[in-house]
């Protein structure tokens, strides 16, 4: 992960320069504003990072949004949002994944079309990487690629690995799909919501900018050596207010609002207090029961956002944006387990998000570069809101 820091900084400065170029072309005067679709640009930037870090491939999405693979993901994402009507079809597709394949509608056909593009382009990446590895082997050399795909293919071709444990090209293709979705949209959404909250709370933004500029190097980021960039990032990573702002955004608006698990056996889940249920007449009745029976095969909805917003844990201001809360957390919160800062945003346990460190590196590097150079204000002409997108649209 540390080796990726210079790459992330390179993309962050490229995004900064691209925005400056757009404003110059629009003849924006100093002190004037310019409307930027932060969500779209953040997605393009993280897409470029994943292309390089994941596959040693330059999508060049910051400079050109016509990339075939980027368009397939973006269009599939937009269609997924437009489908958020709830209803019986969405529910059926969630609990019966084959439903859309057996009885496709226009939306599922379009998603399938996008996935074919993804599979074709990603398939080419796999074959090209295999060719480079084979060429190096013929020369008696070892392919030196450090990207995720290279490491995966190297491990998969190891002579110590039994044939039955090798991953098929089809499964590697599915992994690329997962890398691209899980490694781009989640981080870009976190970046977008952080900048939005900073725009809504200018006092927080000004305070953060002051902290970030206090560690700006005396020379341009582009002139720094890789070792100097590593040293700079080590300083940035330890900035307390930047850490507080990121943690508070990830708590308040987790990029993945909820998840689903399936019980693999009959179990009993203890409850900390008696739970309530709605009776036939609509009133709430408190049960004298402090455990829940969970039969094997039960779908368990994990309310990540609800967990992060629980006023019983976080206090009455749990629904408010308050980065300073992290300097004095309630004891109930400190006692919570979790992969990251007592919140469920990156999940927990053996299925926790493996991309935590990479996401954190991207968030801190991009926010350092952008907030230190731009002032963000809320758009008065565009309504901004949240849309929950079902994960089914990205399953293979």
Enumerate the known binding-site residues for heme.
Answer: 353
Cα dihedral sign, 206-208-209-211? positive
Q: Which two tokens stand for residue 142?
A: 């070892």
CA 224 to chain centre: 28
- Please tell me what DSSP assigns to residue 146: -
**Which three-class secondary structure state does DSSP give residue 259?**
strand
Beta-carbon contacts of residue 286 (< 8 Å; ≥ 6 apart):
274, 275, 276
Look at the block and give the residue holding tokens 């307390």: 240
Element (H, E) at 302: strand 299-302
Residues 126/149, Cβ–Cβ less than 8 Å: yes
Helices (H), 159-299: 169-182, 185-200, 202-213, 226-237, 240-252
Annotated binding site: 353
Paired residues of 285 in beta bridges: 277
Element (H, E) at 124: helix 106-138
Q: What is the 3-state secondary structure (H, E, C) of 55-91?
A: HCCCCCCCCCCCCHHHHHHHHHHHHHHHCCCCHHHHH
The strand pair at 284-286 and 276-278 is best described as: antiparallel
Cα separation, 198 vs 367, in Å, equals 11
Cα separation, 340 vs 330, in Å, equals 16
| Helix 148-156, helix 106-138: angle, nearest 10 | 70
| CA angle, 70 then 71 then 75, to 5° | 120
Half-sphere exposure of 353 (CA within 13 A, CB side): 25
Residue 267: φ, ψ to 5°: -155, 170
């Amino acid at each position: 992960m540390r080796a990726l820091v210079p790459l992330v900084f390179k993309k962050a400065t490229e995004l900064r320069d691209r925005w400056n170029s757009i404003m110059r072309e629009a003849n924006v005067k100093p002190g004037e504003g310019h409307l930027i679709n932060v969500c779209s640009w953040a997605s393009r930037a993280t897409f470029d990072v994943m292309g390089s870090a994941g596959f040693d491939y330059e999508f060049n999405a910051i400079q050109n949004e016509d990339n075939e693979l980027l368009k397939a993901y973006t269009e599939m994402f937009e269609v997924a949002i437009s489908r958020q009507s709830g209803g019986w079809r969405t529910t059926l597709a969630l609990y019966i994944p084959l439903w859309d394949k057996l009885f496709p509608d226009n939306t599922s056909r379009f998603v399938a079309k996008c996935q074919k593009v993804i599979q074709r382009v990603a398939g080419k990446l796999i074959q090209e990487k295999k060719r480079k590895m084979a060429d190096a082997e013929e020369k008696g050399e070892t392919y030196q690629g450090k990207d995720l795909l290279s490491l995966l293919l190297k491990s998969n071709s190891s002579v110590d690995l039994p044939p039955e444990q090798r991953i098929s090209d089809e499964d590697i293709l599915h992994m690329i799909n997962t890398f691209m979705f899980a490694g781009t949209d989640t981080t870009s959404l976190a970046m977008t919501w952080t900048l939005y909250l900073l725009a809504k709370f200018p006092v927080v933004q000004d305070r953060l900018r002051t902290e970030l500029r206090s560690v700006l190097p005396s020379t341009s980021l582009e002139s720094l050596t890789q070792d100097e960039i590593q040293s700079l990032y080590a300083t940035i990573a330890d900035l307390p207010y930047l850490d507080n702002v990121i943690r508070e955004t990830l708590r308040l608006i987790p990029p993945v609002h909820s998840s689903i698990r399936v019980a693999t056996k009959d179990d009993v889940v203890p409850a900390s207090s008696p739970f309530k249920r709605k009776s036939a007449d609509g009133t709430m009745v408190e049960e004298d029961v402090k455990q829940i029976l969970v039969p094997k095969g039960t779908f368990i909805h994990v309310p990540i956002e609800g967990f992060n917003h629980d006023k019983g844990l976080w206090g009455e201001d749990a629904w408010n944006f308050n980065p300073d809360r992290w300097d004095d957390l309630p004891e109930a919160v400190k006692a919570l387990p979790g992969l990251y800062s007592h919140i469920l945003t990156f999940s927990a346990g053996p299925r926790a998000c493996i991309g935590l460190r990479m996401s954190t590196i991207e968030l801190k590097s991009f926010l350092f570069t952008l907030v230190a150079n731009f002032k963000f204000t809320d758009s008065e002409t565009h309504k901004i809101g949240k849309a929950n997108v079902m994960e089914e649209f990205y399953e293979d």
